[in-house]
Amino acid sequence: MSKKAILAVSFGTSFNETRKVTIDAIEADLAAANPDAVVYRAWTSGMILRKIAKRDGVHIDTVPEAFERMEKDGITDVVVQPTHVINGIENDKMMDAARSYSDRFTSVKIGSPLLTTAEDAMECAKALKQEFSFVTDREALVFMGHGSEHYANFVYPAMNYIFEELGMKNFLLGTVEGYPELSSLMADLKKLQPEKIWLAPFMIVAGDHANNDLAGDEEDSWKSILEAEGFKTEAVLKGLGEMKSIRTMFVEHAQNAK
């Protein structure tokens, strides 16, 4: 008799409050959409797993540990659904680990990260337009993505083309560890001369990068850099995982897992 599971794989976060409204919420939506499956959790950041274990005394499985646990529980069919934004380094590592266990189960299917196809990017941009409908034409919205050395980083500059195509010329996306950097957006911002710049994370959770690199008071935060350039800023520390429309995309990707 088959026994199904969904393994939700996230980078992880040490911010418990944001975890509840992002990672937990995605897992709850996956469970609601798949009542015949058990939802398991795995995180890929060793640094965060160690921090949670030390600070909270909580053990969260790595991908291999989750597969071992599912096998022990008698699971036969697994859908692995990452909550990653792009098909980057973390996703590659997850796929390698998942595939190494495929011969121990009847089937192991893998869903795609948030932004995998051009359609995904378009759907995400439309969801953000709706979510941030309070941003006026006289204001700008600057998103901070994580960014990566991985070639999948091309998704971030592509999003700026899509924003423009959808008439969202005052929506701009930069990254903290990839391209485009904040400095690459500065010429557009100076041209726009917005009355105010809203700052928001383009990450599943509003964790360390959002609270410090984006909206922190240190002089190298995006908030401080923009204010030093004379812009007025306001941060919206809301991770993508808090948005129902974004969570629905992950549910759809799990349903289309291959």
Q: Which residues form the catalytic set?
A: 146
What is the spatial distance between Cα 93 and Cα 155, in angstroms, rounded to a whole number? 19
DSSP character string of 162-181: HHHHTT-TTEEEEESSSSS-
Residues 4, 36: contact at Cβ < 8 Å? yes
Tokens representing 215 are 């909206």
Tokens representing 155 are 């998704």
DSSP conformation class of 149: S
Which residue's entry shows tokens 């901070």? 144
Cα distances (angstroms) measured from residue 213 to each of 9, 11, 111: 24, 18, 30
Tokens representing 113 are 């990260």
Beta-bridge partners for 8: 41, 81
Which residue's entry shows tokens 């129902």? 244
What is the spatial distance between Cα 92 and Cα 165, in angstroms, rounded to a whole number? 30
Answer positive or negative: Cα dihedral of 52, 147, 250, 200: positive
Is 49 buried (19+), middle (13-18) or exposed (0-12) by CB count in 10 A? buried
